[in-house]
Amino acid sequence: MKNAKIIVGVSAGIAAYKAVELVRLLVKEGAEVRVVMSANAGQFVTPLTFEALSGHPVYHNLFDAQNSMEHIRMAENGDLLVVAPATASTLAKMAHGLADDALSCLHLAFKGPLLVAPAMNEGMWGHPAVKENIALLKSRGVEFVDPEDGELACGVIGPGRLADTAVILDKVRSYFNPRDDLIGIRFLITAGPTHEAIDPVRYLSNPSSGKMGYAVAERAKARGGEVVLISGPTHLKPPVDVDFKPCKRADEMNALVQEHLADCDVLVMSAAVGDFAAEKLEKEKIKKHGDEGLVLKLVPTVDILLEVAQRNSGKLVVGFAAESQNLVESAFEKLKKKNLDFIVANDISAPGIGFQSDSNQVTIIDREENMEHLPLKPKLEIADLLLDRILTRLKRP
Ligand SMILES: Cc1cc2nc3c(=O)[nH]c(=O)nc-3n(C[C@H](O)[C@H](O)[C@H](O)COP(=O)(O)O)c2cc1C
């Protein structure tokens, strides 16, 4: 981002302290960063903090007699405006063109691309007014980095937490270094858990969030690839412009994989497909009878990767192994048995990584048994590193 001129807009949310780290990292990457603050943002972080980190005066007082045209001057000297965090109030002002402080005036004067990272309490995030303001901004081409699920400052767990700084940073980078190295490559990606019904209201599943597979789909698409994303039930929004195929059961996922296999170059099987399903699906809800236990007979589900391997499809195939013990040994075994080009192994027993988390620590093993331990990274970064390795292998003569 050498010499990229980035304006960071900070509004009055509890996550304003995270904008401090964002500014620090942007400066570290060589960007020339200017900060503009809403009139209320100073309640959370002082302009002095941003001034010290950016090395430039911070624009926060619209009616500063010495600097009265700063919203125009600054707007003319930025390549990108990143508003992080964007409060519900600032989103509303941007959507409806209000201009009553430094940030909102600069927003209207700025003609370049706008990237917005909202953060708020989950009730505010779910309010129709907020949703409509976001839809309006999106219809004008404004890009968003959606908030994450997690523990919020109000103590509630839910959506609304400012996206990880690394994710925002990655999005900012993509404005200045758009990558299109996957043009012409067709990806078939599976993600999320599967649900195997026991009766009309119960099912067997696992805590997979789908975040890893969605991250691979998002980055493959962003880098120019064509993407079909087959997903079990998740709470995630599919990345823009991917061909999205939702499903529930392992056999449904298998049918979709087999249907689309012929039209892909790369198959990435990141879904956490359940290994077992109930032998019999009860038509009615199973009743509880006092203290009597319930014995369920489970049968194995279809092994999708094995079916792909047996068809010897000639595709580049990537599998994932989530293990709670003997991680590397189990991953090697799966690599061989399922004839994979790569296996991405992660230790689900380690705290803070794996299924629900936005970050992961994985080991990538290739067909030749070269092993690469990656440090803890956001899933989007892991996705890019995996795609880099896939691309290198595809280019091999
Ligand atoms: C402690 C505290 C934390 C707040 N956190 C948020 C928040 O995370 N997101 C949000 O939209 N509003 C939050 N608010 C409310 C905003 O600060 C308030 O709507 C303010 O008017 C927004 O001003 P601005 O958008 O012009 O910066 C918070 C208020 C307080 C008192």
In a domain, 181, yes or no: no
Which strand (E) or helix (H) includes residue 261? helix 250-261
Report whether residue 86 contacts ligand 1, using a CB cutoff of 6 Å: no
- Average confidence (pLDDT) over 275-282: 95
Cα 325 from Cα 329, distance rounded (Å): 9
Do 140 and 242 reside in the same domain of the chain? no
Domain of 224?
A: 186-394
pLDDT at 70 (0 to 100): 87
Give yes or no for residue 378 having a pLDDT over 90: no
- Under 8 Å between Cβ of 38 and 102: yes
SS3 346: strand
Do 272 and 372 reside in the same domain of the chain? yes
Relative to the CA of 103, which ligand 1 atom is closest? Answer: 26
Do 136 and 207 reside in the same domain of the chain? no
* Tokens (6 digits) for 124: 């505010």
Give yes or no for residue 22 having a pLDDT over 90: yes
Do 348 and 384 reside in the same domain of the chain? yes
In a domain, 193, yes or no: yes
pLDDT at 337 (0 to 100): 92
pLDDT at 351 (0 to 100): 67
CATH of the domain at 17: 3.40.50.1950
Count of domains for the chain: 2
Distance 119 CA to ligand 1 centre (A): 9
Do 256 and 143 reside in the same domain of the chain? no
pLDDT at 148 (0 to 100): 87
pLDDT at 356 (0 to 100): 65
**Residues 164, 168, 170, 175: what is their CA dihedral angle, to the nearest 10 degrees?**
170
Last residue of a domain, one of 126, 157, 176: 176
Distance 72 CA to ligand 1 centre (A): 26
The answer to pTM > 0.95 is no
Q: State yes or no: cis peptide before 85, omega within 30 of 0.
A: yes
Catalytic residue among 105, 154, 247, 264: 154
Do 114 and 192 reside in the same domain of the chain? no
Q: Judging by beta carbons within 10 Å of its beta carbon (0-12, 13-18, 19+), is residue 314 exposed, middle or buried?
A: exposed
Do 306 and 270 reside in the same domain of the chain? yes
Give yes or no for residue 178 having a pLDDT over 70: yes
- Average confidence (pLDDT) over 366-391: 92
Distance 13 CA to ligand 1 centre (A): 4
Do 93 and 242 reside in the same domain of the chain? no
- Mean pLDDT, the chain, whole residue set: 92
Do 298 and 167 reside in the same domain of the chain? no
Cα 389 from Cα 366, distance rounded (Å): 9
Relative to the CA of 152, which ligand 1 atom is closest? Answer: 8
Do 146 and 203 reside in the same domain of the chain? no
pLDDT at 352 (0 to 100): 62
Do 256 and 361 reside in the same domain of the chain? yes
Report whether residue 99 contacts ligand 1, using a CB cutoff of 6 Å: no
End-to-end CA distance of the chain: 33
Pairwise pLDDT comparison (289 vs 357), residue with the higher score: 289
CATH of the domain at 291: 3.40.50.10300
Amino acid letter, residue 212: M
